[in-house]
Chain A
């Protein structure tokens, strides 16, 4: 069973607010990822990390930032939310040579 958790599950927030989406995993995986998914569309990689203090941008340009201070924790931050940031954000982790596991996602709505 996957042990990767995202909070909050749903978030409605006003334009200009700073938000942090939390992602934690208890499997000791080094690799963690953030994907963005618009309704009915495919997943696009926005950030990834191969371990503590390692972060890289993904294929899809994003105004969000991430940090990896602890192995188990990979939060995503938007400094100033805009309606264009409305989407579902999915966090995943992967061990070496093993399956990728996803959290339940955070559905963000910026009004």
Chain B
């Protein structure tokens, strides 16, 4: 059964730091991997989607990498800002032709950026 782990569970940094959030998954047979942001009491906002054939995706100050063979993904946030404070969730999608292709989530990393 696929399991997703995110390390660290919580992270506090001063404004301006570059930081890396880690995600690992136990079964390398995935269709894609998606990073989300969740603000307290809100829904999820999609940040980056990496297909299984891709190595990385970039959007603004965010860069996500994928090493499917080792079951790892990282989310790199450059020049962090207080507005980046949120919980970041990693989710993997099983192969397309499997029953139940819902996303499987990690528990998230809660980021706090102080000014």
Residue positions of A touching B, CB distance < 8 A: 2, 6, 31, 33, 41-43, 45, 48, 56, 58, 88, 90, 92, 94, 96-105, 107
Distance from A69 Cβ to chain B, minimum over Cβ atoms (Å): 21
Residue positions of B touching A, CB distance < 8 A: 31-32, 34, 36, 41-46, 49, 51, 89, 91, 93, 96, 100-103, 105-108
- Bound together, the chains give a CA A2 to CA B34 distance in angstroms of 15
Q: Of A31, A99, A107, which is within 8 A of B101 by CB?
A: A31
Distance from B47 Cβ to chain A, minimum over Cβ atoms (Å): 10
Q: Of A33, A97, A99, A103, which is within 8 A of B46 by CB?
A: A99
What would 20 A/B residue contacts be, using CB atoms closer than 8 Å?
A2-B46, A33-B103, A42-B105, A42-B106, A42-B107, A90-B43, A94-B103, A97-B31, A97-B32, A97-B51, A99-B34, A100-B46, A101-B46, A102-B43, A102-B44, A102-B45, A102-B46, A105-B42, A105-B43, A107-B41
